[in-house]
Chains A and B, each alone.
Chain A
Amino acid sequence: MKPQPILRAGAPERDNRHNSRRVSRVANFTPASALIGGALIGISATLLLWLNGRIAGVSGIMHGALQRRGDDAVWRWLFLAGLIAGAGAWLWLAPPAFAPRAGYSLPLVLLAGALVGFGTAQGGGCTSGHGVCGISRLSARSIVATLAFLVTGMASVFVVRHLFGVAS
């Protein structure tokens, strides 16, 4: 099965990214696939709450999977396995329109992972738990958390890309 053209529309031409800056600031914008993918994530979060009474927060599910034992661990590992299989199914059906990033510093990726693991454990959520589910429940904690990680995320990219000039 080939994907609908709309899902590939506007697929970024990554190699020209920096050259095309003057041409258009939003050349990489992919609104249709973003909305469709986002809606699927919303449906997933709804299913998990409606059926199991659980918040679809990936970091919370992961931290729990690493700590809990028995029934409370099994569903978590299954959700994470589904996450990988679901993404894999799409990459298999529709080979991605982007080249996988290669050559980016692996020690930096490891540091990034450790900071994300620590920070989401302390902050009690990530983009899905706070960003999607929390905002949908109009939780003040989640709205504040989302603003906080958006601001430091933007600052962090500014430092990495523009101050240190690392191509990420």
Chain B
Amino acid sequence: MTHAAARNASALAAGLLFGLGLAISQMVNPRKVLDFLDVAGNWDPSLVLVLGGAVGVAMLAFRFVLKRRQPIFDGEFHLPKTTKVDRRLLVGSAIFGVGWGIGGYCPGPGIAALSAASVEALVFVAGLAFGSFLYQRFAAPRD
């Protein structure tokens, strides 16, 4: 197996595990997510544990992984290069949060929910692609 094929296989495997985790934790259910964000209502803290479980595993494992000179099937780690906390980061994240609170989907659960043949998820993912296009077309920095 070439490295490119191995990378594709591992991406598929990682996606499968990720989707399984989202479904088991019920994060594919937008009401569950909205109940977490609804601190003034019938608050459901489950999402804290989903995030906590994921961070708990990843924080420990990343320490070992990032000690390696390179990943198994690639020549380098593709980590974000910028470390600056800037306006773009804040404004973008704030806009994302507003949309998250309106729909109850962030990108992972929205895409994973397509598996339930949910019309809502289809509409949400169409919106995602449209928003991505709008950013690239009108707001992305030109270089």
User: Hey, which bits of chain A sit against chain B, CB under 8 A?
Assistant: 7, 12, 14, 17-18, 20-21, 25-31, 33-56, 58-59, 62-63, 66-67, 71, 74-76, 78-91, 96-98, 100-101, 104, 106, 108-128, 130-133, 135-141, 144-146, 148-162, 168
> Which 3 pairs, one residue from A and one from B, show the smallest C-beta to C-beta distance?
A113-B127, A82-B15, A117-B131
Q: Do A76 and B83 contact each other (CB < 8 Å), given the known contacts A40-B24, A113-B123?
A: no
* Secondary structure call for the B interface: helix
**Are A75 and B11 touching (Cβ within 8 A)?**
yes
**If the complex has contacts A30-B46, A87-B113, A112-B124, are A118 and B106 also in contact, measured as CB distance less than 8 A?**
no
Interface residues of B (CB under 8 A from A): 4, 6-8, 10-32, 34-35, 37-59, 61-62, 65-66, 68, 70-74, 76-80, 82-85, 88-108, 110-116, 118-120, 123-136, 139-140
Q: A37-B21, A41-B22, A42-B53 given as contacts; is B130 within 8 A of A85 (CB)?
A: no
**What's the least CB distance linking B31 to chain A, in Å?**
6
